[in-house]
Amino acid sequence: MVPVLLILIPLLTGLTAFFIKNERSVRSWVLFSSLITLVISLLGFTILKEEKYLQHQSDWMMAFNSSFSVKLDGMGQLLCLLTALAYPLIFWATWRVSYKKANNFFALMLLAQAGLMGVFLAMDALLFYFFWELALIPMYFLCSLWGGEKRIQVTFKFFIYTFVGSLLMLIGILYVYAQTADHSFDINSFYKVTLSGKQQGFLFWLFFIAFAVKMPIFPFHTWQPDTYEQAPTATTMVLSGVMVKMGVFGIFRWLLPVLPIASFQWGDIVTSLAVTGMIYASLIAMRQNDLKRLVAYSSIAHLGLMCAAIFAENKSSMQGVMIQMFNHGINIIGLWIVVEIIERRYGTRKISELGGLAQKAPALAILLVIIALANIALPLTNAFAGEFLMFNGLLNSAVTKYYVWFTAFAGLSIILAAVYMLNMIRKVFYGDTNIITETATDITLNEKLALGVIVILIFWMGVYPQGLLNITNEITDSILKKADILPMLPKY
């Protein structure tokens, strides 16, 4: 029941929103809808946490054994919570931004939410593919209609990239489907399928490219900074906060358990790409003058670490990734909110044109510093828990012999992250004021509230990450068990 509601509520309220012409009412309507979704998602953790409430299955395309099968397990639950939490925050923080044809904007936002929820809930490969694409289409229209100057070309590039990736994944899905014993798209049939090492070898890339484009992993990342920069900020928050997690999630849900041999076989190459991307993105981030691009590149670096940690394939690293998926979403939405506030209030997001904001807007400065420190993964902030576990896992990885090098280079990017984040804070908030920041005022109560929620979450998850660990404990074990290739190896 809960998973069906999580998809249906945004879908139906989104479709309704197309017909609410008044801008104020449509705002309230979508905020209301997203709050309901949040409540339902929270209910899934508390009152309705019995098994029977958390799954649903009904016939769909029985001709080829595909059913509408959705289920909330630990990982899906966490990501659904992130999605449900992100939306009210986004709507609240961008309350003042006005859009032309606001009804269409908010309707598409909610449709994207329905697609995202579906991706995290689907327990059927075909259904997963459906939602995977469905999340993309509204994003395409959102970025192309309400984006910046170069929006059309940039968004189109983004669309083609992801679409090619997903089509390759579709072939992969169909191929695995043909090999399943009972010819079914059900996830359990996929988990049971036996594929030779050779088959897994090429299937891996069919799947991985789709996920790598989404995350994005170097060298598939070129769409990302442009798209983040050009998209309207509310959409960028969804893209970077939630949507990139689809790639990480896909690896966990489909790649590791279905293709364990190939994950081992290609693990080193993928990790090398991820680590290269981390260093590369961090170095570029240091040179950025545009706040949006800076955050975009920092996101590539963070996602690279997650990808590297997944292929370390042990419990510490995997749990680290899972809780980091959640925490990164919170932090980056916080950063985007600050960027959005700066851009809206002071009319620029060029770092060189800002300065001395701390004198004029102390509350904003304090909140941003906290969020930025969380982004660097300082102890006591939420990202620390995740990154510590990931590094711990990476260093103790049994599946690669280059773990020292991977850890060293990945660690380097953390230092670089501190460089560019602190540098940004120094340039934007300290120093002398200039013409633009002379007349600056501090943020309003609304904005304080939105950022306050994020800061509370940062500390809460930083001081007491056990809650997140408990949620993801079971699912990590089960993925690890499926990804373990030792039983498959010949005995000596």
Partner 1 sequence: MNALLLSAVLGVIMMFSGIMLKQKSSVRNIAIAGMGLLLLVNILEMNGAVFFKIDVRGMIVFDRFALLFDTIVFISTLLYLILSARDMEKVGIHYADFFALIFFILCGITLTSSFKSLLILFLGIEIISIPLYILTGSDKRNLKSNEASLKYFLLGAFSTGLMLMGIALIYGTKGSFDTIKLNTFTQAPDLLLIAGMTLLLFSMSFKVSAAPFHFWTPDVYDGAPTVFTSFMATIVKAAVFIAFIRLFDEAFGLLQSQWQLLVAIITVATLIIGNITAVFQQSVKRMLAYSSIAQAGFMMLSLYAMNTDAKEGLLLYTAAYSLATIGIFAVLIKMSDYTFDGFNGFARQQPLLAATTTIFLLSLAGIPLTAGFLAKFYMLKAALGTGKHLWLVIFAVLMAAVSVYYYFRVIQAMYFKEGNAPLVHVTPVFKWTMIVLAALVILLGIFPNLLLNWYYF
Q: How far is the CB of 130 from partner 1 (least distance, A)?
A: 5
Note whether 139 and 115 are within 8 A (CB).
Answer: no
Q: How far apart are CA 165 and CA 394, in angstroms?
A: 27
Contact flag: residue 129 with partner 1 (CB under 8 A): yes
Counting DSSP H helices and E strands in the chain, the numbers are: 22, 2
Burial class (CB in 10 A: 0-12, 13-18, 19+), 194: exposed
Pick the binder of partner 1 from 12, 15, 171, 404 (CB under 8 A): 171
Contact flag: residue 134 with partner 1 (CB under 8 A): yes
Contact flag: residue 4 with partner 1 (CB under 8 A): no
Measured from the CB atom, is 35 or 168 closer to partner 1? 168
Q: How far apart are CA 415 and CA 308, in angstroms?
A: 17
Measured from the CB atom, is 61 or 398 closer to partner 1? 61
Taken in order 366, 367, 368, 371, is the CA torsion positive or negative?
positive
Measured from the CB atom, is 220 or 409 closer to partner 1? 220
Close Cβ partners of 62 (under 8 Å, ≥ 6 residues apart): none
Q: How many of the other CB atoms lie within 10 Å of CB of 444? A: 13
Note whether 409 and 272 are within 8 A (CB).
Answer: no
Q: How far is the CB of 251 from partner 1 (least distance, A)?
A: 21
DSSP string of 449-472, one letter each residue: HHHHHHHHHHHHHHH-THHHHHHH
Measured from the CB atom, is 82 or 134 closer to partner 1? 134
Containing 66, the helix (H) or strand (E) segment is strand 66-71
Restricting to residues 40-79, name those near partner 1 by CB under 8 A. Answer: 61-64
Q: What does residue 219 show for φ and ψ, rounded to 5 degrees?
A: -95, 25
Contact flag: residue 178 with partner 1 (CB under 8 A): yes
Measured from the CB atom, is 168 or 412 closer to partner 1? 168
Give the largest CA-CA distance in the chain: 75
Contact flag: residue 15 with partner 1 (CB under 8 A): no
Q: How far is the CB of 258 from partner 1 (least distance, A)?
A: 16
Q: How far is the CB of 480 from partner 1 (least distance, A)?
A: 31
Binding window for partner 1 (CB under 8 A); candidates: 75-83, 136-144, 239-247, 331-339: 136-144
Binding window for partner 1 (CB under 8 A); candidates: 132-140, 250-258, 308-316, 426-434: 132-140
Q: Residues touching partner 1: how many (CB under 8 A)?
A: 27
Q: How far is the CB of 302 from partner 1 (least distance, A)?
A: 29
Q: How far apart are CA 34 and CA 114, in angstroms?
A: 11
Binding window for partner 1 (CB under 8 A); candidates: 138-146, 298-306, 314-322, 366-374: 138-146
Pick the binder of partner 1 from 105, 130, 218, 228 (CB under 8 A): 130
Contact flag: residue 408 with partner 1 (CB under 8 A): no
Pick the binder of partner 1 from 45, 53, 95, 175 (CB under 8 A): 175
Measured from the CB atom, is 164 or 415 closer to partner 1? 164
Q: How far is the CB of 414 from partner 1 (least distance, A)?
A: 37
Close Cβ partners of 57 (under 8 Å, ≥ 6 residues apart): 67, 68, 69, 70, 123
Between the alpha carbon of residue 204 and those of residues 71, 210, 315, the distances in Å are 25, 10, 22
Pick the binder of partner 1 from 4, 31, 137, 399 (CB under 8 A): 137
Q: How far is the CB of 101 from partner 1 (least distance, A)?
A: 10
Q: How far apart are CA 330 and CA 383, in angstroms?
A: 10
Contact flag: residue 415 with partner 1 (CB under 8 A): no
> Beta strand 55-61 with 66-71: parallel, antiparallel or unpaired?
antiparallel
Residue 113, amino acid:
Q
Which residue, 230, 173, 164, is CA-closest to 203? 173
The contact pattern for partner 1, residues 149-168, with x = CB under 8 A and - = no contact, is --xx---x--xx--xx--xx
Binding site residues, partner 1, CB under 8 A: 61-64, 129-130, 133-134, 137, 141, 144-145, 151-152, 156, 159-160, 163-164, 167-168, 170-171, 174-175, 177-178
